[in-house]
């Protein structure tokens, strides 16, 4: 991937003109929170090759039904956010929809020619306070937490207060576990999408920066905070930053440059 393309994103204030052939490669959408109208409208207008939803989808119906009208028009990907485990419906409409396998969390996929890595969910101290080293996390993996919960307080029975559907609590399906983070650090990617923000945000985390550096990512795009921010333009990162950072607001999107027609 050439760095020249990756250093020239255009914002939602400069959409690709209709009919110009300047079709965006990827549209990154901020947290829908149940409202997919901005996604449907933007995809129909700009015809991106792919879209990535940045978490907190909270689909009111299964996601493949919410996005049925654009499913054949663009490649659909997402990461989950903290609110995607708020209720059984939030969870099932996303993870158990026909698009449930389009979750980028913990993996890298080639999307519209870019290697895109995803880290969904948020940091919760009950699992891993990222100010502490990985090995000091309370639980290294969801599997270990589930095994601990299954043992129960008495060591003999399942503790229903600490389990959900026989595994970890629903809430922690949107928690970041160290094993996922560690595995991602060994991968390579051009773009990192996260629900949490990197350290330049007032509520961001240094470990997101460190993950981007491990990946060799030149762009980090995050949701969660409902703010559209170009961190470089805002002076939040300097020209020496190894990667660009964009936050994307609820109902907004970041359009990644269209390919130059061959």
Interaction site with Fe ion (CB under 5 A)? 56, 81-82, 224
Query: Can you name the residues that pair with 122 across neighbouring β-strands?
Result: 175
Min separation Cβ 187 and Fe ion, Å: 24
C-beta closer to Fe ion: residue 214 or 224: 224
Residue 97: what are its φ and ψ, rounded to 5°? Answer: -80, 170
C-beta closer to Fe ion: residue 80 or 102: 80
Whether residue 253 contacts residue 42, with contact meaning beta carbons closer than 8 Å, is answered with yes
Query: Can you name the residues that pair with 191 across neighbouring β-strands?
Result: 116, 219
Whether residue 215 contacts residue 187, with contact meaning beta carbons closer than 8 Å, is answered with yes
Min separation Cβ 137 and Fe ion, Å: 21
Tokens representing 49? 């090759």
C-beta closer to Fe ion: residue 82 or 163: 82
C-beta closer to Fe ion: residue 114 or 123: 123
| 47 C-beta neighbours (distance < 10 Å), count | 16
CA distance 80 to 17: 31
Min separation Cβ 226 and Fe ion, Å: 8
C-beta closer to Fe ion: residue 81 or 204: 81
C-alpha distance across the termini of the chain, in Å = 17
C-beta closer to Fe ion: residue 49 or 56: 56
Min separation Cβ 78 and Fe ion, Å: 13
Min separation Cβ 22 and Fe ion, Å: 31
Q: Is 233 exposed, middle or buried (0-12, 13-18, 19+ CB in 10 A)?
A: exposed
Min separation Cβ 172 and Fe ion, Å: 15
Beta strands in 7-126 (DSSP E): 26-29, 50-53, 75-78, 108-111, 114-119
Using alpha carbons, select from 43, 220, 22 the residue that is nearest to residue 116.
220
């Amino acid at each position: 991937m050439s760095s020249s393309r990756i250093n020239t994103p255009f914002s939602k204030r400069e959409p690709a003109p209709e009919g110009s052939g300047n079709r965006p490669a990827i549209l990154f959408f901020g947290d829908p929170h149940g409202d997919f109208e901005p996604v449907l409208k933007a995809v129909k207008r700009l015809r991106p090759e792919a879209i990535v939803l940045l978490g907190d989808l909270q689909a009111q119906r299964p996601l493949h039904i919410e996005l049925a009208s654009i499913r054949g028009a663009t490649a659909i990907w997402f990461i989950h956010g903290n609110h995607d485990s708020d209720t059984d419906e939030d969870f099932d409409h996303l993870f158990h929809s026909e698009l449930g396998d389009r979750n980028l969390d913990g993996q890298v996929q080639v999307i519209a020619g870019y290697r895109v890595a995803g880290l969904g969910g948020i940091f919760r101290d009950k699992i891993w306070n990222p100010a502490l080293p990985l090995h000091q996390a309370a639980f290294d993996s969801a599997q270990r937490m589930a095994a601990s919960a299954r043992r129960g307080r008495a060591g003999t029975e399942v503790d229903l207060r600490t389990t959900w559907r026989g595994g970890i609590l629903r809430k922690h399906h949107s928690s970041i576990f160290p094993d996922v983070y560690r595995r991602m650090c060994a991968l390579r990617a051009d773009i990192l999408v996260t629900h949490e923000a990197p350290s330049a945000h007032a509520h961001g985390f240094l470990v997101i920066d460190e993950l981007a550096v491990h990946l060799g990512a030149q762009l980090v795009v995050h949701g969660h905070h409902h703010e559209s921010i170009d961190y470089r333009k805002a002076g939040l990162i300097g020209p020496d930053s190894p990667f660009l950072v964009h936050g994307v607001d609820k109902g907004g999107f970041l359009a990644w440059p269209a390919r130059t027609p061959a």
